[in-house]
Amino acid sequence: MSHIRESDRFETRAIHAGQEANPENGAIMTPVYFTSTYKQDAPAKPRGGYEYSRTSNPTRTALQENLAALEGGLFGLCFSSGLAATNALLDRLVPGDHVVAGNDLYGGTYRIFKRVFERYGIRFTFVDTTEPAQVERALEAATKYVYIETPSNPLLRLTDVAAIATITKRAKKLLVVDNTFATPYLQQPLALGADIVLHSLTKYLGGHSDVVGGALILNDASLRDELAFFQNAVGGTPGPMDCFLVLRGTKTLGVRMDRHGANALAIARYLEKHPLVDRVIYPGLESHAQHGLAKRQMKNFGGMVSFEMKGGVAAGNAVASNTRLFTLAESLGGVESLIETPPSMTHASIPAETRRAAGLADGLVRLSVGIEHVDDLVADLGQALDKARTASPAGAAR
């Protein structure tokens, strides 16, 4: 990163950090190093520290440096998925250790907490992290992490990272922030006091729905070494082509997030006025409970919108099943728009009573708003909402 300066802005770092032109031939794109092993200069003397690609690979190194620069961190570690990154965090824990986590989490995160690591004696307490006092009350001597998503998935609740960081630093606990929905372009948790930032690279950072990956970004060298041990020992590492695809994605992250955010805000405002929609959840709306925090903590409000239909489950399913441009699919963050119903799709692993207690209604619909022309997206939702009228008693009454 020798040609990158501290004063270089985000969009410049996204294109150049970790990515020098090839010294042998001047190629400006990072090579994809399809190799499992490396010639050593002498026994136990690997060249440049590369000896086996599970441990390190030059394409992965470039991506790790790029992501660290974007998050304002010193170290990045990449994994084969966001859950592999979460697994590495949990691998540090031993029976009896405790984690305080948000009660509105991605279903896969909840699953690995409750159905995998809880079996090994790791304890988890789920609280509403939008209220810092709840987090503070849940802390124990054995607490190792406070784990939050902001905005959360799928209810788009915002947690005040700086306020939680004040609590965790005072208690000498580590604060982990899943920054997948916001991306480092919109929000930088390390600058707000977090200790570790987690990403599903599959989403906005990859940006094209063609790669699965995860990452951890942090500043503490000894903690980085400890996590790198589990990265290597467990082996949940990405292949070089996966790393190349994410590097391709980060180059355009800024311009994509600007368009995602503009489209999502327009769609949220449209839905908020629609007679069949009961509630719209989007941090950019004045009606959002943490709208003021969103304006302070984020550059813009992101590309995710959730809403509840007045007709409940049947109406929500009807909307999700009748769009033309919004594809009915899991995941998020690609250039194309997606629609899904979290209770039956991405969050089905969370028991219904737990979902409902956290405010996740059975009829919730989640949109990942892409970068298509906003007028086409609004028209598509409009025709799907019209078709939902027949599925909804409330709609039929109108």
Considering the candidates 8, 54, 258, 389, report the single residue annotated as catalytic: 54
| CATH architecture, range 10-250 | 3-Layer(aba) Sandwich (3.40)
- Using alpha carbons, list the distances in angstroms from residue 186 to 260, 288, 290: 11, 18, 16
Q: Is residue 196 a contact partner of residue 177, using CB atoms and an 8 Å limit?
A: yes
- Is 258 known to be catalytic? no
Q: Residue 376 pLDDT > 50, yes or no?
A: yes
pLDDT in tens, 5-41: 888 999 999 999 998 888 888 899 999 999 999 999 9
Kindly name the residue from 60, 144, 157, 203 that is annotated as catalytic: 203
Whether the per-residue pLDDT at 396 is higher than 50: the answer is no
Q: Which of 231, 191, 196 is nearest to 55 (CA)?
A: 231
Element (H, E) at 263: helix 253-272
DSSP per position, 103-148: SS--HHHHHIIIIIGGGGT-EEEEE-TTSHHHHHHH--TTEEEEEE
Whether 9 is catalytic:
no
Q: Which residue has the tokens 């609590």?
A: 167
Which range (75-89, 264-278, 302-316) has the least confidence?
302-316
Domain range annotation of the chain: 10-250, 253-397
Q: Label residue 8 exposed, middle or buried (CB < 10 Å: 0-12, 13-18, 19+).
A: middle
Q: What angle do CA 94, 146, 139 make, to 5 degrees?
A: 85
- The answer to whether residue 203 is catalytic is yes
How confident is the model over 336-372, as pLDDT tens digits?
999 998 766 655 556 666 656 666 667 789 999 999 9
Q: Which of 97, 178, 195, 242 is catalytic?
A: 178
- The reply to whether domains 10-250 and 253-397 share a CATH topology is no
Q: Which of 33, 38, 50, 106 is catalytic?
A: 106
> Which CATH code for domain 253-397?
3.90.1150.10
What average pLDDT does the segment 249-254 reach?
98
For residue 247, which of 67, 44, 21 has the smallest C-alpha distance? 67
